[in-house]
Amino acid sequence: MGKLSKQKGSSFERKTSLMLTGLTGLAFRRTYGSGANKFQQRSLDESGDLKCEDESFPFVLECKHYAEISYAKIMEQDCKLIDRWIAQLTGDSNHQKKNGILVFKSNRMPTFFLFIDKTKDRKLTKFLKKFNHITFYKGYGILTEKLFRKYFRRIIKICS
């Protein structure tokens, strides 16, 4: 990964951290080894790119900012890039026994939030399916930033 790509990813993680702090009032920080820093070791209790200082926060957070993402492939349910990120986040969320949020964007496009639902009886997915304006990719709900901000407090309650 080039220096500019790493800076873009780190900046996106910081921006996402500040947005989540503003929404929840909780403190978030970048995890050691988030992004492509091969010189830092992640501890076994840290997964994802962002960590909430409140251990009861029910999500592992992974952030991805790429130059280009094929949104057509997402709509066609065949995006290998998203599949790779989901596999990574699923491993992290299984390890932490938490739900997962994949925060992703590409250049000159809005930010999207994909949810990995680990709730009993898939309560989060059932909640998201109530709304006809929410997109699903292979069963995972995807929200725009506007919808994420609108529903996030309710989503936290469902997942806590």
pLDDT of 93-142, one tens digit each? 999 999 999 999 999 999 999 999 999 999 999 999 998 888 999 999 99
pLDDT for 32: 78
pLDDT average, residue stretch 21-46: 72
pLDDT category of residue 92 using cuts at 50, 70 and 90: very high
135 phi and psi angles, rounded to 5 deg: -85, 150
Residue reference for tokens 């109530």:
130
Q: What DSSP designation does 16 have? A: H
> CA-CA distance, 24 to 89, in Å (whole number)?
22
pLDDT average, residue stretch 1-14: 79
Q: How many CB atoms lie within 10 A of CB 39?
A: 5
pLDDT category of residue 5 using cuts at 50, 70 and 90: confident
Q: Is the dihedral of CA 136, 72, 11, 33 positive or negative?
A: positive
> CA-CA distance, 71 to 104, in Å (whole number)?
11
Q: What is the full DSSP assignment across 95-140?
A: HHTSEEEEEEEETTS--EEEEE--SGGGHHHHHHHT-TT-EEETTE
**In the chain, % of residues over pLDDT 90:** 80
pLDDT tens per residue across span 66-79: 999 999 999 999 99
pLDDT for 36: 46
All domains in the chain, ordered by first residue: 3-31+48-159 (3.40.1350)
> CA-CA distance, 116 to 156, in Å (whole number)?
13
Q: Which residue has the higher pLDDT, 155 or 38?
A: 155
Beta strand pairing call for 140-144 and 135-137: antiparallel
Q: What DSSP designation does 77 have? A: T
Lowest-confidence pick of 45-49, 72-76, 81-85, 147-151: 45-49
Q: Which residue has the higher pLDDT, 3 or 123?
A: 123
Give every CB contact of residue 138 below 8 A, 6+ residues apart in sequence.
Answer: 77, 83, 86
